[in-house]
Amino acid sequence: MGVMQKLRDNTHIILWTTLILFVLGMTIGGLIRGANLVDIFSGESKNRNLAGSVNGQELKSRQFVNMVQNRVSQMRESGQTINNRMYSAIADRVWNQYVNEVLLGEIIEKYDLKTTGDEIYHYLRTNPPQFIRSAPAFQNEEGEFDYQKYLQRLNNPQGNEWYPVEQQIRGTLPYQKLNNLIQGLVTIPEWEIREQFIKENVKMEFETLTLPYSLVSSDCFNVSSSEIREYYKNHKDEYHVPETREIKYVNFPIKPSKSDTQLTREQAVDLKQRIEQGENFKTVATEYSEDTGTKDQGGDLDWFTENEMVPKFSEAAFNASPGEIVGPVLTRYGYHLIKVEDRRQQDGKTQVKARHILLKITAGPETESDVESQANLFAFDANELGFEAAADSNNYTIQESPELTEDTKFIRQIGYFPEAARFAFSTNSIGKISDVYKTNNAYVICKLTDIKKEHYTKLAEVKSQIKSKIIQEKRLKKLEAMARELYQNNPGLSSLDKFADQNDKYKYKHYGFKTLSSITSLESKNNIQSVLLEIEPGKISRPVKSGNNYVLIKLDRRTDLDQESYQEQRTQIKQELLKEKRNQFYTNWLAALKEQADIFDNHTRFY
């Protein structure tokens, strides 16, 4: 422990060094979680300070972090609690929005879709935005939007009060124009409208005969070595293994101490005294209770029986009289204050109506600071003595991760911990030790222990898998041939059920008089629906693949299409199909745009 003593002797030097690095870190680009100042100074990567770029347009790390923090602040202001896991999801959304805006902005520039003053005025005149409609200045005495009052103010500005609105519309209207142009490319042919009407309105009665995959035995087929080699050659991409890395880590859980437990109990006692001195239980519960399910209702638990709550809670509640406040009661959830409001007999059981205030026992700042210090001291020792030696000397347990890919988010014993993969892929130095990372409930130090380069799995290792796949393909071909033979030899059958009588491996099912859209039990529903729309009553369909099975379908009868109802519903059906198809078309178009773009994505390094 000489290193530990030396460390303590030089604490003042370490503190000043840490402070300087802290200030420099803020100057360089903000407190970016997991960033390593040494790496930044050393220039290990020229893209270290980039969150990414789109067609050469760079997003600096500082700008990206600010964008994420702004989004986080907005969410917190709306009452949401943000944890580490949510940071990553928010960062992903911010990055994707940035990519979309750059790519769409380039299209707007290319096709000169910029907005003119006349367009802005026309838009404001015909489509007042919602934030304007809800503004008190444009509402009547009933609190409704007054268009004439709005129009009067729009046509008679008193200064530059409309400038912020104009700027907002100028920024958003080009994207709306582009979206309208793209969606305008989508049309719905008459046959699609008609087909959708038939699915929803025309009733059909039909039968299915399923030839199951199990009908063909795997023992019927031999697979040669040349077939296996050929399959491997033609499907080699299936056996590509991306680069993976492995780490060891020491985990320092942030757990409440005895003093944290005592402080929580003291807080509960204090709240109880305030209520006993006249404060309203419901009001105090709304302000202080940490039970998110009842907090907004003033801790109201409604009526409950004794076995509906954990034992200690029930014991306290059912031994109290109406109006009595009991507690603090300790359960696995924390400390409770319980106010019993009433009791009754219901269905032969005693029930209690109560409210409660829950105070969870969490690690306080002092406890967390102690754990952080413990982790930092281990990190110093690990760099001086070696990771394993430092763990042994302090009697810490070293754990090993499974193979990590770049997008690994979870680590056993820790939970959500994307920093592990970021660290592992930030260096090629086996043995490198990470900074101290903070998760939702622990501090963690990692060591890179292995790098496995991307490669193709050797043929010998997947030979048996390939053999199974080839046999599966042969079985399916044999099954399809059997189904086709059955179909070709029996075109005019009155029913398919006779085949089920002849072969108990066949599966027969009869579907009553229903619309196709109301039948949810069909496998490969779209394929079977298409067949039923094509064939005539009394006919048997061609074999249809359904999973690993093949199905014969016989249409018994079908109601006629009601032309009058069709004309009545046609417009609505078209609008619904257009909406769905336009959204899908836009999504596909944007995905293709991204595929063609030069996108460098480094944003996961920062969150």
Identify which of 492, 509, 491 has the alpha carbon closest to the alpha carbon of residue 500. 509
Distance CA 92, CA 604 (A): 8
Give residue 347's pLDDT. 86
Q: Between 544 and 78, name the one with better pLDDT.
A: 544
Do domains 203-223+459-559 and 258-359 share one topology? The answer is yes
Cα(19)–Cα(13) distance, integer angstroms: 10
The per-residue pLDDT for 489 is 83
- Asked if 443 and 372 count as a contact pair (C-beta separation under 8 A), the reply is yes
**Cross-strand pairs, 550:** 211, 545
- CATH of the domain spanning 243-254+368-453, picked from 3.90.1150.10, 3.40.47.10, 1.10.3720.10, 3.10.50.40: 3.10.50.40
Statement: residue 33 has pLDDT above 50: no
Q: Which residues of 145-169 are buried (b: 16+ CB within 10 A; e: fewer)?
A: ebeeebeeebeeeeeeebeebeeeb
State which CATH number among 3.40.30, 3.40.50, 3.10.50, 1.10.287 fits the domain covering 203-223+459-559: 3.10.50
What is the spatial distance between Cα 472 and Cα 179, in angstroms, rounded to a whole number? Answer: 46
Quick one: pLDDT at residue 4? 37
pLDDT score for 9: 44
- DSSP readout, 226-267? HHHHHHHHHTGGGGEE--EEEEEEEEEE----HHHHHHHHHH
Q: What does residue 301 show for φ and ψ, rounded to 5 degrees?
A: -100, -5
What band does 551 get if pLDDT is binned at 50, 70 and 90? Answer: very high
Total-model pTM:
0.63
Q: Classify residue 599 by its DSSP letter.
A: E
Q: Hey, where are the domains in the chain?
A: 117-183, 203-223+459-559, 243-254+368-453, 258-359
CA gap 589, 584 in Å, rounded: 8
- Rounded to the nearest 5°, which phi and psi values hold at 347? 55, 40
* Over residues 48-77, mean pLDDT: 90
Average pLDDT, the chain: 87
Assess whether pLDDT exceeds 60 at residue 69: yes
Q: What percent of the chain has pLDDT over 90?
A: 59
Cβ neighbours of residue 220 under 8 Å, at least 6 residues apart?
475, 478
Residues 6+ apart with CB under 8 A from 389: 381
pLDDT score recorded for residue 439 = 87
* pLDDT score of 28 more than 60: no
The pLDDT tens digits for 472-525 are: 999 999 999 999 998 888 766 778 888 888 788 899 999 988 898 888 766 667
Q: 440: which DSSP letter?
A: S
Closest CA to 450 of 387, 403, 392, 389: 403
Which CA distances in Å does 341 have to 22, 323, 326, 337, 542? 54, 5, 12, 13, 70
| Residue 426, Ramachandran bin (φ over 0: left; ψ between -120 and 50: alpha; else beta) | alpha
Q: How far apart are CA 47 and CA 45, in angstroms?
A: 5
* 258-359 is a CATH 3.10.50.40 domain: yes
Locate tokens 């596909």: which residue? 588
Say if residue 14's pLDDT is above 70: no
User: Could you give the C-alpha distances from 27 to 9, 22, 105, in angstroms and in order?
Assistant: 30, 9, 31
Q: pLDDT tens digits, residue range 208-220?
A: 999 999 999 988 8
Most confident of 68-82, 118-132, 378-392: 378-392
- Give the pLDDT band (50/70/90) at residue 407: confident
